[in-house]
Amino acid sequence: MPRYRLTLEYDGGPYNGFQAQAEQPSVQSSLERAVHAFCGETIRVHAAGRTDSGVHATGQTIHIDLEKAWPAETVRSALNAHLRGEPIVVLDAAVAPADWHARFSATGRRYLYRILNRSAPPGLDHGRVWHVKTPLDADAMHQAAQVLVGLHDFTTFRDVHCQSKSPVKTLDVARVTRVGDEVRLVFEARSFLHRQVRSMTGTLCEVGLGRWTAAEVAAALAARDRTACGPVAPPQGLYLTGVDYGNAG
C-alpha cells in the first residue's frame, strides 16, 4: 500500500478547522472526498498540524495511503481537479516511505502571523490578516518575543482545551519585523501547544501598543497561569508556512 506525502496550500476561512467534524466543513473532509472521487477509496488523511477554524496554510504537509500505486504527479493533478472550486491546492506530491508519518516524523514547524497595521481596513487581504489600527512598535515586540525563546513551561500561552501531555516546549525562533504596513511574526519550534502562537501574538501586540513591557511578558510566562496571558489574536492572520522532517524527509 503506497504512501504519498502531499504539501498543501489553503484558505482556512470557509472551514471549521482542518480536522473532520460531523456536519461541519473541514479541510480534511474535503481532501478525503477528493480522494474518493479520484480513485474510489475511502481513506483517512493525516496532517502535520490540525489548524484551527479560520487558520490558513502555505506549507501544510499530509500523508495518504492508497491501495493502488499511482504516479505522484497523477495524484497531485487528480486531487486538484476534484478540489476545483475550493480554496485548497496540492502544491506537491511524492511517494513516501511506509514508516514516514506527516505528524510524528516532523522535526519542526513554522508559523507566520500577519498584522495589517494601518488605519484603513484590508481590501484584498480581508480574512487573511488581523487589522490593528493603532501604530505598533515592531522593534519592542521583537525584543519582548526573545523572552519566549528557549525551553519553557508555556501554560500561560496554552488553550484550556489543549490535549498535549505537557506544557513544556522549546521555542526555537520568535521574530517580529515590519514590512510596509504589515507587522509579521514568525515562530519556529518542533511542536506547539493549542493556540500557543495566537496567544503569544496577542500578548506581543500589547507590547507593540505600549500597554505591556518585555518584563511583563517574562512575568506572564513565569506565572504558568492562563489568566496571565494577554488577549488571544484572531485566527485569520495565522498561517502554517512549513514543516521540517530532517533526515526523515
Give the CATH number of the domain where residue 133 resides. Answer: 3.30.70.660
The mean pLDDT of 4-16, rounded to a whole number, is: 97
153 is catalytic: no
Binning pLDDT at 50, 70 and 90, where does residue 248 land? low
Range 225-249 average pLDDT = 92
The residue from 57, 89, 104 where one domain ends is 104
Span 113-132, mean pLDDT? 98
Q: Please tell me whether residues 63 and 81 are part of one structural domain.
A: yes
26 SS3 class:
coil
pLDDT reading at 64 higher than 80: yes
Name the grid cell of 70: 499511482
The total domain count for the chain is 2
For 175-224, what is each residue's pLDDT tens digit? 999 999 999 999 999 999 999 999 999 999 999 999 999 999 999 999 99
Q: What is the pTM of this model?
A: 0.96
Can you give the CATH number for the domain in which 48 is found?
3.30.70.580
Nearest-CA neighbor of 232 among 160, 149, 139, 183?
Answer: 160
Q: Do residues 198 and 214 both lie within one domain? A: yes
pLDDT-above-70 percentage for the chain = 99
Same domain, 15 and 113: no
For residue 120, pLDDT over 90 is answered with yes
Give per-residue pLDDT as tens, 65-102: 999 999 999 999 999 999 999 999 999 999 999 999 99
Instruction: Single out the catalytic residue among 52, 65, 125, 159.
Output: 52
Confidence of residue 51 (pLDDT cuts 50, 70, 90): very high
pLDDT in tens, 106-116: 999 999 999 99
If asked whether residues 139 and 226 sit together in one domain, one would say yes
Residue 24 CA: distances (Å) to CA of 50, 51, 81, 138, 229? 15, 15, 22, 37, 30
* Domain limits for position 139: 108-244
Residue 249 covered by a domain: no
Average pLDDT of the chain is 96
Beta strands in 132-206 (DSSP E): 150-153, 168-179, 182-189
H or E segment and range at residue 164: none
Of 64, 84, 104, the domain-final residue = 104
Q: Is residue 127 part of a domain?
A: yes
